[in-house]
Amino acid sequence: MNIMKTYKTRSFWINKKNEGVIESGQVSLLGDNEIVIRTKYSGISFGTEKLVFTGKVPKSQRNLMRCPHQEGNFGEKLKYGYINVGKVIDGCSDLINKNVFSFFPHQDVFKIHRENIIIIPDDIPLTRSLLLPNLETAINAVWDTMPSIGDKIIIVGAGVVGLLTAYLLNKIPGTEVVVVDKDKKRKKIVCSLGLNYLDKIPKNFEPNFIFECTGNHNVLNQLKKHIVYETTICILSWYGNEISKISLGEEFFSKRANIILSQVSRISPNRSKYTMVDRRRIALNILQDTILDNLIEKNQVKFEDLGKFFIKEKNSNNLLCKVVKY
């Protein structure tokens, strides 16, 4: 008689708006292709998770914004998160002791189907691999907009997504890329990636592309005075239930501005030959660059302190990749 092994678990739940708790549970292997993972680190996708923690997910978007292994529902008690790296400790023998990435919430031990994990290459540190989802977002933004040689580009907001987007765009020969953030403390991290920093948009820059990455719904309308004829504005921020007021009758109209809302759950028709798996493979290849370690917050959050962290930082913006240690 085979005895099913059971593992005790702890997971982070948003009990109600602005309140998080750690809850105990257990998991057991059931299927042939299931594995058990012990988490080493999880990452906080701060812009999205802040909106979830503070209860600002619009009712109309609750189905779309579910993460792959979410439990519970928005507006109720739920377990949320999608950046997890850990080691396989049980299940498929060929995966035992492999370090893997999965889109699983903040939980110390969990089971998952083997098809839902990504093996982390040995030459990519585990903490750097936490950048994978945000890097896929940045790749999607480039695919959605298709900048080219010689374009002048502004990235507004020096958070993780903004910096990764700028990093990719700066690789295009002949482009002039400027990262703008009013927080002058951001200059060091921007320059560490070999990028140009300014605390405000220069008056005569005349950008072909502007990428809005601040998470601030009031910023979009402020961009109108900086656009030129047929400037493309790509919005990577998710504003949740905040309402952004845009004066479409002014410069946006007369200068034929293009406004694109880039969202990572779909791949642009511009790159229809690529699948989600292809995009992930491309992202993993890019993550071999050691300079990207500069985007990882050095001060890690203890798993047990996640609730306190979200309460303390709920009014913050543009944090780097925050690492949760277990």
* Residue 167 domain flag: yes
Our count of domains for the chain comes to 2
Say whether both 183 and 244 belong to one domain. yes
Say whether both 15 and 105 belong to one domain. yes
Say whether both 315 and 239 belong to one domain. no
Say whether both 105 and 190 belong to one domain. no
Residue 241 is predicted with a pLDDT of 66
* Residue 278 domain flag: no
Say whether both 265 and 151 belong to one domain. yes
* Residue 283 domain flag: no
Cα(177)–Cα(9) distance, integer angstroms: 45
* Residue 117 domain flag: yes
Write the CA distances from 282 to 51, 135, 136, 253, 277, integer angstroms.
29, 10, 9, 37, 9
Say whether both 118 and 40 belong to one domain. yes
Residue 1 is predicted with a pLDDT of 43
Q: Side chain identity at 257, as an amino acid letter? A: A
Residue 153: CATH number of its domain: 3.40.50.720
Say whether both 175 and 197 belong to one domain. yes
Residue 12: CATH number of its domain: 3.90.180.10
Cα(23)–Cα(11) distance, integer angstroms: 5
Residue 2 is predicted with a pLDDT of 53
* Residue 168 domain flag: yes
Say whether both 226 and 184 belong to one domain. yes
Ranges of the chain with pLDDT below 50? 1
Say whether both 154 and 266 belong to one domain. yes
Say whether both 144 and 95 belong to one domain. no
CB neighbour list of residue 66: distance below 8 Å, 6 or more residues apart: 74
Residue 72 is predicted with a pLDDT of 94
Cα(113)–Cα(196) distance, integer angstroms: 43
* Residue 287 domain flag: no
* Residue 288 domain flag: no
* Residue 276 domain flag: no
SS (H, E, C) the chain: CCCCCEEEEEEEEEEECCEEEEEEEEEECCCCCEEEEEEEEEEECHHHHHHHHCCCCCHHHCCCCCCCCCEECCCCCEECCCCEEEEEEEECHHHCCCEEEECCCCECEEEEEHHHEEECCCCCCHHHHCCHHHHHHHHHHHHHHCCCCCCEEEEECCCHHHHHHHHHHCCCCCCEEEEECCCHHHHHHHHHCCCEEECCCCCCCCCCEEEECCCCCCHHHHHHHHCCCCCEEEECCCCCCCCCCCCCCCHHHHCCCEEEECCCCCCCHHHCCCCHHHHHHHHHHHCCCHHHHHHECCCCEEHHHHHHHHHHHCCCCCCCEEEEEC
Say whether both 16 and 81 belong to one domain. yes
Residue 160 is predicted with a pLDDT of 95
Q: How many CB atoms lie within 10 A of CB 21?
A: 13
pLDDT digits (tens, 9 = 90+) for 49-76: 988 999 888 888 888 789 899 999 998 9
Say whether both 246 and 143 belong to one domain. yes
Residue 3 is predicted with a pLDDT of 60
Write the CA distances from 91 to 18, 28, 108, integer angstroms.
36, 10, 17
Range of the domain at 164: 134-270
